[in-house]
Amino acid sequence: MEKAKPPAGTEQDLIKELEKAIKITR
């Protein structure tokens, strides 16, 4: 979504970013 990252670890990165965004929002 942001940069061309390899298929390995994409879900983990997205989850980490989502968790961070949720923590910042909450």
The model's pLDDT over 6-19, given as tens digits with 9 standing for 90+, comes to 666 678 888 898 99
Measured CA to CA, the distance from residue 14 to residue 6 in angstroms comes to: 13
Give the per-residue pLDDT at 13. 87
Answer for the pair 5, 16: CB distance below 8 angstroms, yes or no: no
pLDDT > 70? residue 23: yes
pLDDT > 70? residue 1: no
Please tell me the pTM assigned to this model: 0.45
Q: CA dist 11 to 1, 14, Å?
A: 11, 5
